[in-house]
Amino acid sequence: MTLWFATRALGLVTLTLFSTVMVLGLLTAGRRAPWRQPAFVITGLHRSLALLSVVFLGLHIATSVLDDFVTIRWVDAVVPFGAAYRPFWLGLGATALDLILALVITSLLRTRLGLRTWRAVHWLAYACWPIAVVHGAGIGTDTRLTLAFDAICCVAVAAAAAVRLSAVARAGTYRQPITGGTR
Amino acid sequence: MNKELRVDFIACDGAGVCAELLPELLSRDEWGYPVVTEAAVPGRLRGHARKAVALCPKLALHLDL
Amino acid sequence: MITMSTTRDRLLALTAGADAARHAGLAGPLPLRGAVRPGRLGPLAQVVAASGLRGRGGGWFPLIRKMEAVAAGAGSRPPVVVVNGMEGEPLSEKDTYLLNCAPHLVMDGATLAAEALGARRIVLAVTGDTYRPLVGGTRPGLRSLLQALARDRTAYGVDPVEITVLEGPDRYLSGQETALANWINGGPPVPTTARPFRKGVDGRATLVGNVETFAHLALIARRGPEWYRAVGTPDAPGTTLLTVSGAVGHPGVLEVPLGTPVRDVLTAAGVLTEPSAVLLGGYGGAWMSGRTATGLTLDPESIAAAGGALGPGIVHVLPQGAHGLVRTAEIARWMENQGARQCGPCQFGLRAVADDLDSVIRGDAVAGDRLRRRLALLPRRGGCAHPDGVARLVASALEVFA
């Protein structure tokens, strides 16, 4: 039974970490916010916590596979919806993992890939995090604790998203591209 | 031989992460954009310079040979 | 359009206009030798190298180096040749004049360059019908004129490669090489980090050259590098076109050997007394006192050594009684509005410089120091040389007029 509890606990920790990473990621956008000094702390923390989250995610997956209370194979962690145990909810987790792998690998290779490619993949984070939240909410047996965590994380991410959207709205189009001429 | 710092000002958005991480070589102008006070990167600062390049939100900082 | 000659003209002697037969009679046949494979350089390259021909768009960059870079960057894909007739500098008329009066010469040069590079596309970029305050009157549809000419040349088999004529936006930066390539590719006419000799039009290696550069090339190919070098200076051989304007008796386009004393040019343009100040190089150039200017020769090195720039051959005399600082403030404000607004130091810096200059004119002493500090932060902090030019101009104005 221990591994079962460990999996659940690690899942909640991972979710909390990823939510923090989301909040930090949202706060790195937009430049004219003097309260965000020093900027390198937020961006550096975002990276470090993201990597830490992956470690905890790895442990969460390991305990879920090693636990014989239910049958979950290693392959079910990356290939969604083929598991014996709760295939749909587990599959969401596998989808989230696939997206996270894409995010982390492209971020590690960011300087080599160039900004446009990296950013295109990084937008997947906005899909990845909700999928992870729903995975956690749907797969747990004791839902009250999970939902409490989910609620706190959602509030935090929503607040950060609101900050980002308002910064974007205020900045507006202060750098206008030039157009003109006939062809 | 020394690597040189270069800012791509078309990509740069003035976030200032570079100047925070490499104050010995970079400062900021009154609008927040980086000023390369010293382009040649001495060996002891090479690691810090690489970190600044990696953390620039717009990948606007470059280390050239 | 008034033109003058101080010596045996070279380009300006071949102003056959649209008349192809007359052009052929004056210039001689077009010495085509057959296109090379992309990535190589045809025999014309040796001629270009020996002649020492330098670009006439303002950069004075040796053409052979550009051609070598394009050949190196081309790989297996045929490069593109762009003839830059955008002439964004308001004080410049020479390119428009050449395109109107010696278009065949320019097209000959483009075709020769294309052949030497294995290029299969030539784009000629010109501006539209705009009123030019220097000499008055509107130009007839330059694009349609040139398009018709290009079509005829293709029809008669003069050019192995078709020449496309495009009309670009009338903005200062639309003649900047990367901005021009960007616009031809369908983007906005603003500079990019991509270098045209590697990745320009259609993502291909692109040779971007000034209208006048190609005109010189067309003659060098016919008459040889020794002929070209017979006038001018060792570092800046040949003749060049100047646009003389301002308080001069005969404003207009003038052809002189490089190295001609400024004094002689002013005399030819009908300037009878030493002017108080002269602007050399255009809106991105530098003011000089009349005394300094008349002691210089018209070549890029001599003027750069005096702290200025020859640019696209601009000689502009400040009218007697005109206020140099006020004129510079107008230019600075105009240059601010012409910026691409891509780079913070330029977008905000040029505005601040224009504001400070206005304050200095109103008598604000503190603004002068602040202005000098800000000017020092403009050079090399943009995506192109626009802020550098403004910094040079305003600094020179402070020295000459303040």
**Contact: C188, A176; criterion CB under 8 Å:** no
Given CB atoms, is B28 within the 8 Å cutoff of chain A?
no
Residue A174 pLDDT > 60, yes or no? no
Q: How many CB pairs under 8 A join A and B?
A: 30
Lowest mean pLDDT among C136-150, C189-203, C248-262: C136-150
- Write out pLDDT tens, residues B3-61: 999 999 999 988 889 999 999 999 999 998 999 999 999 999 999 999 999 999 999 99
Which residues of chain A make contact with C190, given a CB cutoff of 8 A? Answer: 177-178
- Write out pLDDT tens, residues A53-84: 999 999 999 999 898 888 888 888 888 888 88
Residue C128 pLDDT > 70, yes or no? yes
Option in C342, C349, C377 nearest B10 (CB): C342
- At residue A16, the pLDDT reads 95
Angle at C236 between CA C235 and CA C242, to 5 degrees: 160
| Tokens 């070589």 belong to residue | B25
Burial class (CB in 10 A: 0-12, 13-18, 19+), C24: middle
Which residues of chain B make contact with A44, given a CB cutoff of 8 A? Answer: 55
- Write out pLDDT tens, residues C288-326: 999 999 999 999 999 999 999 999 999 999 998 899 999
Q: Which of residues 188-247 of C touch A (CB under 8 A)?
A: 188-190
Residue A36 pLDDT > 60, yes or no? no
Q: What is the mean pLDDT of residues C55-70?
A: 97
- At residue B55, the pLDDT reads 92
C387 close to C381: Cβ distance less than 8 angstroms: yes
- At residue C132, the pLDDT reads 44
Q: What is the mean pLDDT of residues C180-206?
A: 96
Residue A52 pLDDT > 50, yes or no? yes
**Is the bond preceding A38 in cis, omega lying within 30 degrees of 0?**
yes
**Contact: B14, C191; criterion CB under 8 Å:** no
**Contact: C341, A182; criterion CB under 8 Å:** no
- At residue C218, the pLDDT reads 96
Which is more confidently placed, A32 or C251?
C251
Which is more confidently placed, A142 or B22?
B22
* pLDDT band at residue A85 under the 50/70/90 scheme: confident
- At residue A30, the pLDDT reads 58
Given CB atoms, is C382 within the 8 Å cutoff of chain A?
no
Q: What is the mean pLDDT of residues A142-155?
A: 85
Q: What is the mean pLDDT of residues C202-207?
A: 96
- At residue A71, the pLDDT reads 82
**Contact: C170, A181; criterion CB under 8 Å:** yes
- At residue C311, the pLDDT reads 96
C155 CB-near residues (< 8 Å, 6+ apart):
none
State percent of chain C over pLDDT 70: 95
**Contact: C170, A180; criterion CB under 8 Å:** yes
State percent of chain C over pLDDT 90: 80
Interface test with C, best of A176, A178, A179, A183 (most C CBs within 10 A): A178
**Contact: B8, C193; criterion CB under 8 Å:** yes
* pLDDT band at residue C131 under the 50/70/90 scheme: very low
CA distance C195 to C33: 29
- At residue C19, the pLDDT reads 86
* pLDDT band at residue C140 under the 50/70/90 scheme: low
What average pLDDT does chain A have?
A: 84
Q: How many CB pairs under 8 A join A and C?
A: 37
List alpha helices for C224-323, DSSP H: 225-229, 262-268, 290-294, 300-305
- At residue C2, the pLDDT reads 45
**Contact: C170, A176; criterion CB under 8 Å:** no
* pLDDT band at residue C139 under the 50/70/90 scheme: low
- At residue C217, the pLDDT reads 97
Q: Which of residues 66-125 of A touch B (CB under 8 A)?
A: 110-111, 114-115
- At residue A113, the pLDDT reads 93
Write out the two tokens for C132.
Answer: 């030019």
- At residue A179, the pLDDT reads 37
CA distance C336 to C350: 5
Residue C130 pLDDT > 70, yes or no? no
* pLDDT band at residue C7 under the 50/70/90 scheme: low
**Cα separations in angstroms, C234 against A153, C30, C52, C53, C237:** 73, 27, 9, 11, 6
10 Å Cβ neighbour count for C263? 16
Q: How far apart are the first and last CA of chain B?
A: 8
Which residues of chain B make contact with C377, given a CB cutoff of 8 A? Answer: 29, 35
- At residue C50, the pLDDT reads 97
Q: How far apart are the first and last CA of chain A?
A: 72
* pLDDT band at residue A164 under the 50/70/90 scheme: confident
Residue A177 pLDDT > 60, yes or no? no
Q: What is the mean pLDDT of residues A156-180?
A: 69
* pLDDT band at residue C213 under the 50/70/90 scheme: very high
- At residue C138, the pLDDT reads 52
Which residues of chain A make contact with B57, given a CB cutoff of 8 A? Answer: 28, 43
The radius of gyration computed from the CA coordinates of chain C, to the nearest angstrom, equals 21
**Contact: A181, C188; criterion CB under 8 Å:** no
CA distance C59 to C385: 10
